[in-house]
Chain A
Amino acid sequence: MLKIENLHASIEDKEILKGLGIEVKPGEVHAIMGPNGAGKSTLSSVIAGREEYEVTEGSIEFEGEDINELEADERAHKGIFMSFQYPVEIPGISVTNFIKTAINSNRKAQGLEDMPANEMLKKIKEKAALLDIDMKFLSRSLNEGFSGGEKKRNEIFQMAMLEPKLAILDETDSGLDIDALKIVANGVNKLKSADNAVIVITHYQRLLDYIVPDFVHVLFDGKIVKSGTKELALELEAKGYDWIKQEVTA
């Protein structure tokens, strides 16, 4: 589904990713872990197509197609979703209005008519229930005055609504207490299928207790330096990142 080879990317002429490679197949859950400054958020931004980042070398293929030249919205239309570490506020636009606009934009790109209102409402109710979201929440302005937990839950709600093929969860656990973490993880797990894939980007192991990865990769200094199964995450938790650093620099 997603194949990244020898990816080099920079921002303002500073190289952050230095030859990164990863392959994600449908049905898989990958975790990317790493210390601060390793390039975790850069990776998610580059996959999502954020303009500020320049890919200088290497390739990103999504379902066999090179997507490097595509704009962020075009990538979204292809089924790439990113849950933001810091979701932005849009005052005056309700969660419902926003998700309606997003869904219909995606449908338009696929040559479909707007989703009928009753179908939309049914879907909203269904997905809100899945994530234990109060309907009142949906009429509030997008992310405005939301707590950390509400923001993240809202991200996963949008993911549930958009049903992406590939979901990248960028530090979704940051700012969440354990109850919120469980709800969010539970939501993600319910959305998993044999046809879609999830990339969980995180600093800590704890989210991986709830969203269990098939593969764990360690990102360090812009490269994947170690890959393994979920046991690797536990090892990182126990030993910290220092031993990786030593292994790499040795």
Chain B
Amino acid sequence: MAYTEEELKKELETQEYAYGFYTDIEADTLPIGLNEDIVRAISKKKNEPEWMTEWRLEAFRAWEQMEEPDWANVHYEKPDFQSISYYSAPKKKPQYESLDEVDPELLDTFNKLGISIDEQKKLTGVAVDIVMDSVSVATTFKKTLAEKGIIFCSISEAIKEHSELVKKYLGTVVPQKDNFYAALNSAVFSDGSFCYIPKGVRCPMELSTYFRINQAGTGQFERTLVIADESSYVSYLEGCTAPMRDENQLHAAVVELIALDDAEIKYSTVQNWFPGGKDGKGGVFNFVTKRGLCEKNAKISWTQVETGSAVTWKYPSCILKGDNSIGEFYSIAVTNNYQQADTGTKMIHLGNNTRSTIISKGISAGKSQNSYRGLVQVGSRAANARNFSQCDSLLMGNNCGAHTFPYIEAKNKTAQIEHEATTSKIGEDQIFYCNQRGIDTEKAIALIVNGFSKEVLNKLPMEFAVEAQKLLEISLEGSVG
């Protein structure tokens, strides 16, 4: 293949979404629009207790008074929240004991995604809780986890079976009224995952959830709550792919992490929502609120590989409340064609001797816009806080943009905050050099991108890192499967 910058750009623009297909499974969908009755109906459909219904209604009432934020460096047509259906569940809600009972079409979908349950089951050490169109339809390895006292189930189940834990922690890190999308999520969340690791327990396997959006016109509102009790450890993996769709799909998830004293949570995400066509049509709007709370000596690491969505608005954050707590954020965000991403993190230092690290890698191609937005805040009583931030941008072609918005607010004189930023471009020289060694251009780009992203890829669990590398290649090359 020949590679002038022009051709390279063209090649990048002509790639199509590899996972574009639609599964025809009967679904049970509520009428479009949102009001108190709909919120009540959702709660009722899920057989929730009264307190949960009230909690949702509180959130809904707050949301009604709120405005959709517009400070991010993204431009899109705002969704009409009254033309969305807020609940969609596969009708054949199963209680499977074995895979044979699962709708074959559903299994086929997983096969197309290359994440078949079959495969996943064989992957020792990985328990999969698959969220298909908002409702959990399969959970594996539950028994092994139960022996350690670990709870890993859908949030709906947790609301019923472990209501004391949910009641105690839900909304404590991301309050109902936190922001427009969080409020909306609190009112209408359909399902999501719940995880509790008891005191002193080290979760023996990576916990993994695959999310998909599958029903035309339904927004997906996931709710995830992870609680690591004192001195416990858990590594949680979240991955997504979505089918091709013409209209925009709204995704407004909320993830809350709670790391109690001496606990550690590692939360890794590979996100591949449909990014829209090469003409900028369609694609998922991904407005996510992710936040973790660290108590004394606790540690939370967010690692994310973001390749999808038409518009991304996402800032996985850490509140370093306890003394000596640690927050980390490692991110790779890839944008191509007309994708827009405004992503980053907030590190809120409240305790003494708190430390945070931010490594952000943005890769822009096509006509996309990629922004890093980060806040490092040191409270007046947080002595000896440390932060190190590094934001690197890689540009491909001349029509994309990379932006960095680092905010620093230090109210304590003992704080030490470092920020480094670089911008580079994949050069024809680099491509030619690789070509001359017999490496074709697609592979050369993959190599350069992988090298650029290495520090973050290294933070992912092994099997996820492989998938993430594959995704980077798919997102940036003409190699359509």
Partner of A87, one of B1, B427, B433, B453: B433
Instruction: Tell whether, in the assembled complex, residue B432 and residue A102 are in contact, meaning their CB atoms are under 8 Å apart.
Output: no
Instruction: Tell whether, in the assembled complex, residue A101 and residue B433 are in contact, meaning their CB atoms are under 8 Å apart.
Output: no
Instruction: Tell whether, in the assembled complex, residue B448 and residue A93 are in contact, meaning their CB atoms are under 8 Å apart.
Output: yes
Determine how close the nearest CB of chain A comes to the CB of B263; give it in whole angstroms: 32
Instruction: Tell whether, in the assembled complex, residue B439 and residue A48 are in contact, meaning their CB atoms are under 8 Å apart.
Output: no
Among the stretches A6-14, A71-79, A223-231, A240-248, the one at the interface with B is A71-79
> Chain A residues near B145 (CB, 8 Å)?
none
* A87→B427 CA distance, assembly (Å): 13
Mask, A175-189, CB within 8 Å of B = 1, is: 000000000000000
Instruction: Tell whether, in the assembled complex, residue A48 and residue B436 are in contact, meaning their CB atoms are under 8 Å apart.
Output: yes
Instruction: Tell whether, in the assembled complex, residue B443 and residue A88 are in contact, meaning their CB atoms are under 8 Å apart.
Output: no
Residue positions of A touching B, CB distance < 8 A: 48-52, 71-73, 76-77, 81-82, 84, 87-93, 97-98, 101-102, 105-106, 109, 141-142, 158, 162
Instruction: Tell whether, in the assembled complex, residue A71 and residue B443 are in contact, meaning their CB atoms are under 8 Å apart.
Output: no
* A98→B444 CA distance, assembly (Å): 10
Instruction: Tell whether, in the assembled complex, residue B447 and residue A105 are in contact, meaning their CB atoms are under 8 Å apart.
Output: no
> Chain B residues near A97 (CB, 8 Å)?
447
Which residue of chain B lies nearest to A168 when distances are taken between CB atoms in the complex?
Answer: B436
Mask, B427-457, CB within 8 Å of A = 1, is: 1111011111111110100011011111100
Instruction: Tell whether, in the assembled complex, residue A90 and residue B443 are in contact, meaning their CB atoms are under 8 Å apart.
Output: no
B4: interface (CB < 8 Å)? yes
> Chain A residues near B123 (CB, 8 Å)?
none
* A142→B448 CA distance, assembly (Å): 11
Instruction: Tell whether, in the assembled complex, residue B453 and residue A101 are in contact, meaning their CB atoms are under 8 Å apart.
Output: no
> Chain A residues near B388 (CB, 8 Å)?
none
* A124→B469 CA distance, assembly (Å): 25
Q: Other than the known A88-B429, A90-B451, A97-B447, what 19 A-B pairs have Cβ atoms closer than 8 Å? A: A49-B436, A51-B2, A51-B4, A51-B432, A72-B436, A73-B434, A73-B440, A84-B436, A92-B451, A92-B454, A93-B454, A98-B437, A101-B439, A101-B443, A105-B438, A109-B438, A142-B451, A162-B437, A162-B438
Interface centre among B2, B429, B439 (most CB of A within 10 A): B439
Which residue of chain A lies nearest to B451 when distances are taken between CB atoms in the complex?
Answer: A92
> Chain B residues near A158 (CB, 8 Å)?
437
B3: interface (CB < 8 Å)? yes
Determine how close the nearest CB of chain B comes to the CB of A178; give it in whole angstroms: 27
> Chain A residues near B3 (CB, 8 Å)?
51
Q: In the complex, which range does the number of interface residues on chain B fall in?
A: 20 to 34
Instruction: Tell whether, in the assembled complex, residue B430 and residue A93 are in contact, meaning their CB atoms are under 8 Å apart.
Output: no
Which residue of chain B lies nearest to A161 when distances are taken between CB atoms in the complex?
Answer: B437
Instruction: Tell whether, in the assembled complex, residue A84 and residue B439 are in contact, meaning their CB atoms are under 8 Å apart.
Output: no
10 nearest A-B residue pairs (beta carbon)? A92-B451, A72-B435, A76-B438, A93-B451, A102-B437, A92-B454, A106-B438, A73-B435, A88-B433, A105-B438
Which residue of chain B lies nearest to A99 when distances are taken between CB atoms in the complex?
Answer: B437
Which residue of chain B lies nearest to A77 when distances are taken between CB atoms in the complex?
Answer: B438
> Chain B residues near A50 (CB, 8 Å)?
432
Instruction: Tell whether, in the assembled complex, residue B452 and residue A92 are in contact, meaning their CB atoms are under 8 Å apart.
Output: yes
> Chain A residues near B438 (CB, 8 Å)?
73, 76-77, 102, 105-106, 109, 162
Interface centre among A72, A76, A89, A101 (most CB of B within 10 A): A72
Residue positions of B touching A, CB distance < 8 A: 1-4, 427-430, 432-441, 443, 447-448, 450-455
Instruction: Tell whether, in the assembled complex, residue A76 and residue B437 are in contact, meaning their CB atoms are under 8 Å apart.
Output: yes
Interface SS majority for chain A: mixed
Instruction: Tell whether, in the assembled complex, residue B439 and residue A71 are in contact, meaning their CB atoms are under 8 Å apart.
Output: no
Instruction: Tell whether, in the assembled complex, residue B435 and residue A71 are in contact, meaning their CB atoms are under 8 Å apart.
Output: yes
Report the number of A-B residue pairs with Cβ-Cβ less than 8 Å: 82
> Chain B residues near A109 (CB, 8 Å)?
438
Which residue of chain B lies nearest to A82 when distances are taken between CB atoms in the complex?
Answer: B436
Determine how close the nearest CB of chain B comes to the CB of A99; give it in whole angstroms: 8
> Chain B residues near A102 (CB, 8 Å)?
434, 437-439
Which residue of chain B lies nearest to A110 when distances are taken between CB atoms in the complex?
Answer: B438
Which residue of chain A lies nearest to B433 when distances are taken between CB atoms in the complex?
Answer: A88
* A237→B56 CA distance, assembly (Å): 87
* A158→B438 CA distance, assembly (Å): 12
Instruction: Tell whether, in the assembled complex, residue B436 and residue A93 are in contact, meaning their CB atoms are under 8 Å apart.
Output: no
Determine how close the nearest CB of chain A comes to the CB of B7; give it in whole angstroms: 9
* A50→B427 CA distance, assembly (Å): 13
Instruction: Tell whether, in the assembled complex, residue B447 and residue A101 are in contact, meaning their CB atoms are under 8 Å apart.
Output: yes
Instruction: Tell whether, in the assembled complex, residue B453 and residue A92 are in contact, meaning their CB atoms are under 8 Å apart.
Output: yes
* A98→B4 CA distance, assembly (Å): 22
> Chain A residues near B448 (CB, 8 Å)?
90, 93
* A52→B6 CA distance, assembly (Å): 12
Interface centre among A50, A73, A102 (most CB of B within 10 A): A73
25 contacting pairs across A/B (C-beta < 8 A):
A49-B435, A51-B428, A51-B432, A71-B2, A72-B435, A73-B434, A73-B439, A76-B435, A76-B436, A77-B438, A81-B436, A81-B437, A82-B436, A88-B429, A90-B430, A90-B447, A90-B451, A91-B452, A92-B451, A101-B443, A105-B438, A105-B440, A105-B443, A141-B451, A162-B438
* A207→B15 CA distance, assembly (Å): 48
Instruction: Tell whether, in the assembled complex, residue A84 and residue B447 are in contact, meaning their CB atoms are under 8 Å apart.
Output: no
Partner of B430, one of A51, A82, A88: A88
Determine how close the nearest CB of chain A comes to the CB of B360; give it in whole angstroms: 15
Instruction: Tell whether, in the assembled complex, residue B432 and residue A72 are in contact, meaning their CB atoms are under 8 Å apart.
Output: yes
* A97→B457 CA distance, assembly (Å): 15
Determine how close the nearest CB of chain A comes to the CB of B182; give it in whole angstroms: 36
Which residue of chain A lies nearest to B424 when distances are taken between CB atoms in the complex?
Answer: A91
Interface centre among B429, B437, B450, B455 (most CB of A within 10 A): B437
Which residue of chain A lies nearest to B454 when distances are taken between CB atoms in the complex?
Answer: A92
* A88→B437 CA distance, assembly (Å): 12
* A7→B206 CA distance, assembly (Å): 61
Partner of A88, one of B1, B4, B427, B450: B427
> Chain A residues near B432 (CB, 8 Å)?
50-51, 72
* A48→B427 CA distance, assembly (Å): 18
* A97→B437 CA distance, assembly (Å): 13
* A87→B429 CA distance, assembly (Å): 9
Determine how close the nearest CB of chain B comes to the CB of A242; give it in whole angstroms: 33
Determine how close the nearest CB of chain A comes to the CB of B205; give it in whole angstroms: 28
> Chain A residues near B2 (CB, 8 Å)?
51, 71
Which residue of chain B lies nearest to A84 when distances are taken between CB atoms in the complex?
Answer: B433
* A105→B436 CA distance, assembly (Å): 11
